[in-house]
A and B are shown apart, each in its own frame.
Chain A
């Protein structure tokens, strides 16, 4: 079983839609969680950290369910520029463990 699992997608949504990505992790001792964004043929970049109480950054909301070992990312009012791959990331011992990524394509 992979340490971090995501639905690879693609998710094809119209502009303005709300879309949610889910992720599960296998190590119950994990303490830190993140979402990274990766544009096509570019390097991954931190989108946001995920806090136990849930957190929001503009149109993006991240949530963590420790009991279910489940992380989510919600994007409201999707923009064309949101098209990218979204990587769920768990901090292991001194390294980051990435999921396979979920590809999002927003169309006009």
Chain B
């Protein structure tokens, strides 16, 4: 158990619907990352937060995607008007506890697997 929890673990939805994923990172850690992983690929960076501030967004994060971390604790990732190409595993991660910045180790949650029909 990495201390990063994600919900739901699985989501099946129809094209055009909105979905929201939640991540609870390692407690009191100020950094939180979102990645996306499709079959046969490595995790791809989407965005990250320093406390409640979203500091970087990948160009993969189209305008249908929005991420928030309102109180600097848990985070949500919403996908609006889902498309079949959004089917993937969405992974949340925190750096090692006690490290203010990312040195090299990320602790990942078990992911939220999205299937868009």
* Cα distance, A99 to B37, chains bound together (Å): 11
Question: In the bound complex, do residue A95 and residue B40 qualify as a contact, i.e. CB atoms below 8 Å apart?
Answer: no
Question: In the bound complex, do residue B2 and residue A43 qualify as a contact, i.e. CB atoms below 8 Å apart?
Answer: yes
Q: Which residues of A contact B35 (CB under 8 A)?
A: 98
Residue of A nearest to B4 (CB): A43
Contact of B110 among A42, A89, A96, A99 (CB under 8 A): A42
A74 within 8 A of B: no
Question: In the bound complex, do residue B104 and residue A46 qualify as a contact, i.e. CB atoms below 8 Å apart?
Answer: yes
* Cα distance, A89 to B43, chains bound together (Å): 10
Question: In the bound complex, do residue A96 and residue B106 qualify as a contact, i.e. CB atoms below 8 Å apart?
Answer: yes
**CB 8 Å contact bits of A44-63 with B (1 = contact, 0 = none):** 11100100000000000000
Residue of A nearest to B50 (CB): A94
Contact of A87 among B42, B56, B103 (CB under 8 A): B42
**CB 8 Å contact bits of B64-92 with A (1 = contact, 0 = none):** 00000000000000000000000000010
A91 within 8 A of B: yes
Residue of A nearest to B108 (CB): A43
CB distance from B44 to the nearest CB of A (A): 7
